[in-house]
Amino acid sequence: MKISPKKLILTLLLVAFQQTIFAQNQLPHLEKKGKTTELIVNGKPMIILGGELGNSSASTMEYMQPIWGKLKAMNLNTVLMPVYWELLEKEEGKFDYVLLQQLITEARKNQIKIVFLWFASWKNSMSSHVPAWVKLNQERFPRAKDDKNQSQEILTPFSENNLQADLKAFEKLMAFIKDFDKNEQTVIMVQVENEIGMLPSARDYHPLANAAFKSDVPSVLMDYLKKNQAVLAPEILVRWGQNGFKNSGTWEEIFGKGLATDELFMAWYFAKYTNTITEAGKKIYPIPMFVNAALNRPNKLPGSGYPSAGPLPHVIDLWKAAMPAMDLLSPDFYNPDFKHWNDLYTRHGETLFIPEHRFDNTVMAKSLYAIGHYEALGFSPFSIESPEKPQNEPLGKSYALLEQLTPLLIKNHGQGKIEAVLLDHETKETVINLGKYQFTFRHDYTLGWSPEAKSAEWPMTSVIIIQTGEDEFYVAGSGVVVTFKSLENPALNIGILKVDEGYFENNIWKTRRHMNGDQIHQGRHLRISVGDYEIQKLQLYSYK
Ligand code: DGJ
């Protein structure tokens, strides 16, 4: 059969059209690209330039009204906001979606995506967001007990009633999102519960919990430990080993007596409960879901010193084993040591997403570092609506750079072409190899050219570097000076062929300034001063 050229073109156009529609209709999901995992929304990869609202801000549209403009002024593309179980299901079995509908509609008007945070059984360990009909019926919805048999305002994870009540409400939430949003895809991910953990004792002493504690460690977990022995968190491996690597037994027989075992036990049951809810929600609308962790501080005890048993690095394997439905385990940052914790959360190539970081003067630099160095899904300071003058926030400047760079970052994801540095008074210098070059990044104040350099309070700075050709790189960020060496031949000198400062408009590079003379120290370095937020395109060459 012969097909006329006209018919062939029409058929090809139809196929292309169908493929575009198919891609757009795919639900938000995670997709592996090289070593990186990307978030795909409306058929395209996106990087979350986010911020999380204060806990009570999304409870009325009236309170939210002045906030949308602030989010835009800081160049956010995504807002993280709670869905409060107590407002969604004020009366048992009666669901009110009006607020959610209005929030999604307003987000769409502002071209902002939403990550919903399911504040339900647990919010920062406590159960403060459960509806009144749950709070008032302790017989039916039992509480966790501490080691003195005192009831806590914490639903016990050992009660089937608690689980089912939360799960049913979550199913309704996901069904609503599916119905209202699956075409538009304003809601791109969901966090299930919030900073789960046990306080003030390391484990729950409810009779149901005590019975589980005296029972054998579930065989699913034992199988997981055996299969993953080579990559278990050292804290878990050591306890298992010290007790003889048994194949079966109670929690204390397998891991020994003590708070660490209490914590492992709770981690398993918190994670199982949350996984059951996640699984039920995903059956209805399978978009990416995650849990977040309140990081512990060194030398503090679980329960009395920090919320015991959350998705923390030292108990992470229990969360992983119990949560096949969960996509990500994410750290919340109110602690120092940003690199240390992120390294732990990504030690086996896991995907990083930072749903909360204290909104302090380090977030500008850390947003660049998280997205450059870890190729994170996104970054999100907490209490994002707090600035009086959002247009002046340094975070808005780094987000503006990241927004322009997104297509280039996505193009180069997962291929070892993207790096970033994080510098301050303690870490003044970082060396990075990319292609045939060695780059030395120094904090801008190492030049000693600015009077502030004498103070011990150096602002945290960062740049991302992306390799786009053998000798071509983009450097973007603030407060960094860069010099270059040859990796191939130390005798070879490396010089600057060209540096342009500019921006991307519709993904096309536009040069605003050709940088030379003082701006590159007559060819000695590339520099973006503290207080400037720039993208510079760099070409290097060698001479003998
Ligand atoms: C971490 C929690 O996840 C947030 O909801 C909020 O309570 C912040 N701490 C800070 O207050």
407-454 tens-digit pLDDT: 999 999 999 999 999 999 999 999 999 999 999 999 999 999 999 999
Question: Up-side HSE of residue 388: CA atoms within 13 Å toward CB?
Answer: 0
Query: What is the whole-number distance in angstroms between the Cα of residue 359 and the centre of ligand 1?
Result: 11
Say if CB 70 and CB 390 are below 8 A apart: yes
Nearest CA to ligand 1 atom 9: 124
Q: In what order do the strands lie in the sheet with 526-528?
A: 429-434, 437-443, 480-486, 526-528
Give exposure, 466-494, as e/b (b: 16+ Cβ within 10 Å).
bbeeebebbbbbbbbbbbbbeeeeeeeeb
Helix%, strand%, coil% for the chain, nearest 5 = 35, 30, 35
Q: SS3 for 319? A: helix
The residues, ordered by sequence, that sit 6+ positions from 356 with a Cβ below 8 Å of its Cβ are: 52, 80, 292, 332, 333, 334, 380, 381, 382
Q: For position 5, what pLDDT does the model report?
A: 72
Q: For position 422, what pLDDT does the model report?
A: 98
Query: What is the whole-number distance in angstroms between the Cα of residue 382 and the centre of ligand 1?
Result: 7
Q: SS3 for 498? A: strand
Tell me, what DSSP letter sits at residue 91?
B
CA–CA separation, 356 and 380 (whole Å): 5
Q: Which two tokens stand for residue 190?
A: 């969901």
Query: What is the whole-number distance in angstroms between the Cα of residue 83 and the centre of ligand 1?
Result: 14
CA–CA separation, 146 and 198 (whole Å): 9
β-strands 461-467, 418-423 pairing: antiparallel
Query: What is the whole-number distance in angstroms between the Cα of residue 266 and the centre of ligand 1?
Result: 21
| Residue 321 backbone phi and psi in degrees, to 5 | -65, -35
Give which of 258, 262, 218, 223 is closest to 242, Cα–Cα. 258
Query: What is the whole-number distance in angstroms between the Cα of residue 377 and the centre of ligand 1?
Result: 20
CA–CA separation, 291 and 314 (whole Å): 16
Strands (E), 296-354: 328-333, 353-354
- Residues at CB less than 6 angstroms from ligand 1: 55, 124, 194-195, 332, 356, 382
Question: Up-side HSE of residue 21: CA atoms within 13 Å toward CB?
Answer: 6
* Category of 507 on φ-ψ map: left (φ > 0), alpha (ψ -120 to 50) or beta: left
CA–CA separation, 524 and 542 (whole Å): 13
Which of 81, 125, 332 to mutate for ligand 1's pocket (most ligand atoms within 8 Å of CB)?
A: 332
Residue 527: beta bridge partners?
481
Nearest CA to ligand 1 atom 2: 124
CA–CA separation, 314 and 309 (whole Å): 9
- In the numeric block, the tokens 């949350």 are attached to 274
Report mean pLDDT in 10-residue bins for the chain, 544 residues: 70 62 75 97 98 98 98 98 98 98 98 98 98 98 97 98 98 98 98 98 98 98 98 98 98 98 98 98 98 95 98 98 98 96 98 98 98 98 98 98 98 98 97 98 97 93 98 98 96 97 97 98 98 98 96
Please give the distance of CA 196 from its chain centroid, rounded to a whole number: 16
CA–CA separation, 169 and 107 (whole Å): 23
Q: Which two tokens stand for residue 505?
A: 């408009």
Q: For position 10, what pLDDT does the model report?
A: 73
Using CA of residue 162, residue 166, residue 167, residue 172, what is the dihedral sign? positive
Total residues found in the chain within this entry = 544
CA–CA separation, 268 and 527 (whole Å): 50
Strands (E), 164-223: 187-194
Which of 119, 123, 124 to mutate for ligand 1's pocket (most ligand atoms within 8 Å of CB)?
A: 124
Give which of 395, 366, 402 is closest to 74, Cα–Cα. 395
Q: Dihedral (C-alpha) 485, 487, 492, 497: value to the nearest 10 degrees? A: -50
Query: What is the whole-number distance in angstroms between the Cα of residue 124 and the centre of ligand 1?
Result: 7
Please give the helix or strand (H or E) that residue 123 lies within, else none. Answer: strand 113-123
Q: SS3 for 318? A: helix
Query: What is the whole-number distance in angstroms between the Cα of residue 301 and the centre of ligand 1?
Result: 20
Atom index in ligand 1 nearest the CA of residue 55 equals: 5
Tell me, what DSSP letter sits at residue 302?
B
Q: Which two tokens stand for residue 420?
A: 């970033």
Query: What is the per-residue DSSP string for 373-435?
Result: HS--SEE--BSTT--SSGGG-HHHHHHHHHHHHHHHHHHHTTTT-EEEEEE-SS--EEEEEET
pTM for the predicted model, two decimal places:
0.95
Q: For position 17, what pLDDT does the model report?
A: 55
Nearest CA to ligand 1 atom 10: 382
| Residue 428 backbone phi and psi in degrees, to 5 | -85, -20
